[in-house]
Chain A
Amino acid sequence: MKESLKQIVGDEYITDDSAICYSYSRDQHWNFVPAKSPACVVMPGTREEVREILLFANKNRIPVIPWSTGINVRGLTIPVHDNSILLDLSRLNRIIEINEEMMTATVEPAVTFGMLMAATDKFKLRPAFPDAPLTVSVLANNYLRGIYQTSSADGHDHTLSFEMILPNGEIIKTGSRAFSDDMPYFRYGVGPDIAGMMAASPGTWGVVTELTLKLYPVYDLQQAYFVGFDTVEDSMEFIRNINRDELVESCRLLDHHSYITGLFGTFDYDYEKLPEFVACILVAGIDGIFQAKDTLVRDHIGKSVGVLLDIPEKLRTHFREETLAGSEKSCMVFGVRGNYHCIGIYGPLTHVPAYWELHKKAAADAGIPADHVYFYVNPIGRFHGQLCYVELDIFYDGADPDLGKKIQEYNRIQFPRLLDAGIYGWFRPYAGIIEPTLDRIGYQAELWKKFMEFADPNHIMNPGKLF
């Protein structure tokens, strides 16, 4: 295998050294995805090389795991099978185009959010940011449908089109890209939405080599508000109103000492003195619209039962940067207790208080201490269906195997309970959620498998990650 791959990428970019392979064997989701090394790591430098590697692997039925930046926090790039090729795409790191006119960017897999923001900033444009570190791949995030982002106003879907190489070497171009590489700016070209069908998949169809995404304007006029609530219920009306009226650029409801540390960028603040829940709000816009929105938001704050919090300017600035210029400190969730676990779901705001109760209950049932239990709600515009991304978080000491077992138990009991309570969807497919879900989605599961079978009949693409 090494010799054949060497022919494709050259000596320097293929290794089967077991120590190097070992460094890809585990991420922070080790309680759910056991460590396993790939047999080799290969770093293609061009899409042609990606294609040749896929053809070789397909012919020889060798599992391939696409890896763009490897920070997915769900064990999605940890091999399931022996003798796998880890396809490290980090050399494919070109920003192919920033189109100021079209408000789009086209990127290769290893372009990170930080790299892209550094390049779009001068145009006063930005991508939609996940609450993930700036070091994650823009392409992988968008392709995985990382649609729970720091700015609710950006809405839901940022992917316009992409190019994917299938295991048989065929190249698929989605949307308007199918007609012309020069016009990759529209999601729907002809026929079904292939991009939509293939997205949200952990590398199980093929390898995406280029993706075009939307960029959003950066406004100079910004104002942050932090509104404290004693209970989740108390905040609901306020959150609903400001999102329904589309007044805010960003809106998150957080418990008072978890993700908020990242938004404020410091552990060194007396978080205990804050009310139990804090709505973190950012108003932004062009002159005229900004002032109008700001007045209305203040009005809503005044009418709410929440308390407007006096937060130091430095922390407010940090919140603005994290929200609209790229999240850098969200990883502080690791620092609270050493590791973080979450179940991420989509659901309506109306269900949010129930999710919180379920979260506390399942954690207690699994024996997880109450002070390890946290909450994060991110409404997503536009607000039809009152769409929210909801994260049921547990921050814990990752070195404690006993807590690890309790968290496994938490997942086991919580997945069916959430499905019973009613959710819109899981934030992405990963270990543990597929099993309890399949028998609830009827023939869709069969169809999904059949499509995958069609694209990857030899089952080489990250096998074992879904079914």
Chain B
Amino acid sequence: MRSEELKRAIYRCGKCKLCSITTFHPARDYLPLCPSGTYYKYQAFYAPGRLEVLRGILDEEVGNTGELLKIAYGCTLCGACHEKCKEISSIDLNHAEIFEDMRNRLVGRGILPEAHREITERVRETGNAYGVTTKKTYPSRRSGDTLYFIGCTSRYREPEIMDSMIAVLEAIGEEFSILDDETCCGSVLFRTGQRDAARELVERNIRAIEESGAKRLVFTCPGCMMTFKKNYPDLGVELLHSTEFIAQHLNDLKVRHLGMNVTYHDPCHLGRHLGIYDAPREILNRIANLHEMKRTREQAWCCGSGGGVKSAFGDFALWTAGERVKEAKLTADVLTSACPFCKRNLAEASDGMEVYDIVELVKLALEVQS
């Protein structure tokens, strides 16, 4: 983004702070929406203050202060502020993208959290964000038009999601392939402003996908999918999230109702950033009793792990997840989501609540039936 474009966006902000709360009418609930501002409290951590700090960076009036790292990177890039703001200010840029650009500028000046530097190193060395060196192998699958892009978190931290998705794909009867040597999509590097470091990954993945001949990529990680959509060139392949794919095949699947009272947490990448709200609900309505939290869909409270926050500001990430779990507990018995990052962070803060990815529940619904 050019500085002038950013400045225009900054000058659009009237400092009304409506982006800090959910829509009031008609429910008349006054609920916080911005995790960063709510947690860190000072104005700099709300969107209007952060925009102001960006102005200072662009005008070279703000240097590397002690707190600048936290201001720039202590934001989950959840985009909730943008959902509110766009109704009011008709701003044309997206706040999450603006704040990502802010990071990119700081990275250019060598200002980034150590934890993010380390992730880049790990990705460089191992091809995955967690630095796992023991390669995970799967029964080689090289057939069909569909490629399941697993992503680092499902592969190395939340393998139940991956296993469930594979089981569901098999149950659907879909011919699909998996990349043996899957490389990180680069999401975490893009989100943390390290665009240059991500480029090599993009190229590697493009080559691998072209070689696979896939016509469709299916993701259980909305972060990966968003990265393919926004940061990759058009590969001429269809990009689908697991929930979209499953919803399309729901009638082909023999699933039964699990009888659970569940609530659904909209992952920011899936909902606000990709606009996918209905497919997860369609599935859940088929296999469970779905109850909505007050902060839902476009105005869902973030799980707290996005934007590199989990790695750099662990306490903030966990607090944010804890707030979500509290809300979920008031709503249902089981908390579901559709993103391995969300599951991981929410589970860590779950305080005894069961947390699942939707594909896990779908698999459970299959198993119960059989």
> A residues within 8 Å of B by Cβ?
15, 17-20, 22-28, 41, 43, 69-71, 73, 88, 90-91, 112, 114-115, 117-118, 121, 133-135, 267, 317-318, 321-322, 325-326, 328-329, 331-335, 338-340, 397-399
Q: How far is the CA of A22 from the CA of B42 in the complex (A)?
A: 11
Assess whether B89 is in contact with A335, with CB atoms less than 8 Å apart. yes
Closest 7 A-B residue pairs measured CB to CB? A23-B49, A23-B44, A399-B11, A334-B14, A335-B90, A17-B67, A114-B30
Assess whether A19 is in contact with B67, with CB atoms less than 8 Å apart. yes
Assess whether B15 is in contact with A328, with CB atoms less than 8 Å apart. no
Contact of A19 among B14, B28, B62, B89 (CB under 8 A): B62
| In the complex, chain B residues whose CB is within 8 Å of the CB of A326 | 24-25, 28
Which of A41, A121, A338, A339 has the largest count of B CB atoms less than 10 A from its CB? A338
Known contacts A318-B25, A325-B28: A331-B53 contact under CB 8 Å = no
Assess whether B50 is in contact with A23, with CB atoms less than 8 Å apart. yes
| In the complex, chain B residues whose CB is within 8 Å of the CB of A329 | 87-88
Binary flags per residue of B40-70, CB closer than 8 Å to A gives 1, else 0: 0111100011101101100001110111100
Assess whether B18 is in contact with A133, with CB atoms less than 8 Å apart. yes
Assess whether A15 is in contact with B88, with CB atoms less than 8 Å apart. no
Known contacts A118-B30, A329-B88, A332-B88: A20-B67 contact under CB 8 Å = yes
Which of B25, B66, B71 has the largest count of A CB atoms less than 10 A from its CB? B25
Q: How far is the CA of A28 from the CA of B12 in the complex (A)?
A: 9
Decide yes or no whether B1 CB sits under 8 A from chain A.
no
Given contacts A19-B68, A27-B15, A329-B88, 7 further A-B contacts (CB under 8 A): A15-B67, A18-B63, A26-B55, A135-B17, A334-B14, A335-B90, A339-B14
| In the complex, chain B residues whose CB is within 8 Å of the CB of A28 | 13-15
Assess whether B88 is in contact with A331, with CB atoms less than 8 Å apart. yes
Interface residues of B in 68-103 (CB under 8 A from A): 68, 71, 87-90
Nearest-neighbor residue (CB-CB) of A332 within chain B: B88
| In the complex, chain A residues whose CB is within 8 Å of the CB of B88 | 329, 331-332, 334-335
Q: How far is the CA of A22 from the CA of B29 in the complex (A)?
A: 31
Assess whether B18 is in contact with A18, with CB atoms less than 8 Å apart. no
A465 to chain B, nearest CB (A): 18
| In the complex, chain A residues whose CB is within 8 Å of the CB of B87 | 329, 332, 335
Q: How far is the CA of A117 from the CA of B29 in the complex (A)?
A: 9
Known contacts A70-B43, A118-B28, A328-B25: A22-B90 contact under CB 8 Å = no
Q: How far is the CA of A69 from the CA of B30 in the complex (A)?
A: 15
| In the complex, chain A residues whose CB is within 8 Å of the CB of B30 | 112, 114-115, 117-118, 134
A327 to chain B, nearest CB (A): 10
Known contacts A22-B61, A23-B53: A88-B42 contact under CB 8 Å = yes
Decide yes or no whether B7 CB sits under 8 A from chain A.
yes
A406 to chain B, nearest CB (A): 16
| In the complex, chain B residues whose CB is within 8 Å of the CB of A397 | 11
| In the complex, chain A residues whose CB is within 8 Å of the CB of B18 | 133-135, 328, 331
A-B contact pairs, 10 of them (CB 8 A): A17-B67, A19-B44, A19-B56, A43-B41, A134-B24, A134-B30, A326-B25, A332-B88, A335-B88, A338-B89
Decide yes or no whether B253 CB sits under 8 A from chain A.
no
B133 to chain A, nearest CB (A): 38
Assess whether B16 is in contact with A331, with CB atoms less than 8 Å apart. yes
A431 to chain B, nearest CB (A): 16
Assess whether A328 is in contact with B62, with CB atoms less than 8 Å apart. no
B328 to chain A, nearest CB (A): 21
Assess whether A338 is in contact with B52, with CB atoms less than 8 Å apart. no
Contact of A20 among B14, B29, B63, B71 (CB under 8 A): B71
| In the complex, chain B residues whose CB is within 8 Å of the CB of A398 | 11-12
Q: How far is the CA of A27 from the CA of B17 in the complex (A)?
A: 11
| In the complex, chain B residues whose CB is within 8 Å of the CB of A27 | 15
Task: Give the bracket for the number of chain B residues in contact with chain A.
Answer: 35 or more
Q: How far is the CA of A249 from the CA of B61 in the complex (A)?
A: 49
Q: How far is the CA of A326 from the CA of B88 in the complex (A)?
A: 16
Which of A15, A20, A28, A43 has the largest count of B CB atoms less than 10 A from its CB? A20
Contact of A118 among B29, B48, B53 (CB under 8 A): B29
| In the complex, chain B residues whose CB is within 8 Å of the CB of A267 | 90
A113 to chain B, nearest CB (A): 9
Q: How far is the CA of A317 from the CA of B13 in the complex (A)?
A: 27
Known contacts A17-B66, A18-B65, A88-B43: A133-B16 contact under CB 8 Å = yes
Assess whether B53 is in contact with A334, with CB atoms less than 8 Å apart. no
A131 to chain B, nearest CB (A): 12
Contact of B23 among A135, A328, A399 (CB under 8 A): A328
Assess whether A23 is in contact with B43, with CB atoms less than 8 Å apart. yes
B206 to chain A, nearest CB (A): 37
Assess whether A331 is in contact with B14, with CB atoms less than 8 Å apart. yes
B24 to chain A, nearest CB (A): 5
Assess whether B61 is in contact with A69, with CB atoms less than 8 Å apart. no
Q: How far is the CA of A321 from the CA of B23 in the complex (A)?
A: 12
Binary flags per residue of B14-41, CB closer than 8 Å to A gives 1, else 0: 1111101101111011100000000001
Q: How far is the CA of A339 from the CA of B88 in the complex (A)?
A: 11
Assess whether B42 is in contact with A41, with CB atoms less than 8 Å apart. yes
| In the complex, chain A residues whose CB is within 8 Å of the CB of B7 | 399
Assess whether B28 is in contact with A25, with CB atoms less than 8 Å apart. no
Nearest-neighbor residue (CB-CB) of B56 within chain A: A22
| In the complex, chain B residues whose CB is within 8 Å of the CB of A399 | 7-8, 11-12
Assess whether B24 is in contact with A114, with CB atoms less than 8 Å apart. yes
Q: How far is the CA of A127 from the CA of B65 in the complex (A)?
A: 42
Q: How far is the CA of A121 from the CA of B25 in the complex (A)?
A: 12
Assess whether B17 is in contact with A338, with CB atoms less than 8 Å apart. no
A398 to chain B, nearest CB (A): 4
B46 to chain A, nearest CB (A): 8
| In the complex, chain A residues whose CB is within 8 Å of the CB of B41 | 43, 90-91
Nearest-neighbor residue (CB-CB) of B57 within chain A: A19
B37 to chain A, nearest CB (A): 10
| In the complex, chain A residues whose CB is within 8 Å of the CB of B71 | 19-20, 23
Assess whether B17 is in contact with A71, with CB atoms less than 8 Å apart. yes
Nearest-neighbor residue (CB-CB) of A112 within chain B: B30
Which of B23, B62, B63, B71 has the largest count of A CB atoms less than 10 A from its CB? B62
Known contacts A20-B67, A135-B17: A339-B62 contact under CB 8 Å = no
Known contacts A71-B16, A334-B12: A23-B42 contact under CB 8 Å = yes
B32 to chain A, nearest CB (A): 11
| In the complex, chain B residues whose CB is within 8 Å of the CB of A331 | 14, 16, 18, 88-89
Assess whether A338 is in contact with B24, with CB atoms less than 8 Å apart. no
Known contacts A19-B65, A321-B25: A69-B50 contact under CB 8 Å = no
Q: How far is the CA of A247 from the CA of B55 in the complex (A)?
A: 49
| In the complex, chain A residues whose CB is within 8 Å of the CB of B67 | 15, 17, 19-20
